[in-house]
Amino acid sequence: MSQKMLRIPLEDLTTVRVKCKGKIQREGKSELDCPMVYEVAIDQLGNAFPNDQCPRCNQSYWNKSAMTNPLASLSNAVQGLQSIHKQLEIEFDLPLNHAGESR
CA distance 61 to 68: 11
- The yes-or-no verdict on residue 16 having pLDDT over 60 is yes
In the chain, domain spans: 5-88
Question: pLDDT per residue over 28-87, tens digit each?
Answer: 889 999 999 999 999 999 999 888 899 999 999 888 777 788 999 999 999 999 999 999
Quick one: DSSP state of residue 102?
B
Question: pLDDT per residue over 70-84, tens digit each?
Answer: 999 999 999 999 999
Neighbours of 64 (CB within 10 A): 12
- The yes-or-no verdict on residue 21 having pLDDT over 90 is yes
Alpha-carbon separation of residue 57 from 7, 10, 11, 31 (angstroms): 35, 32, 33, 11
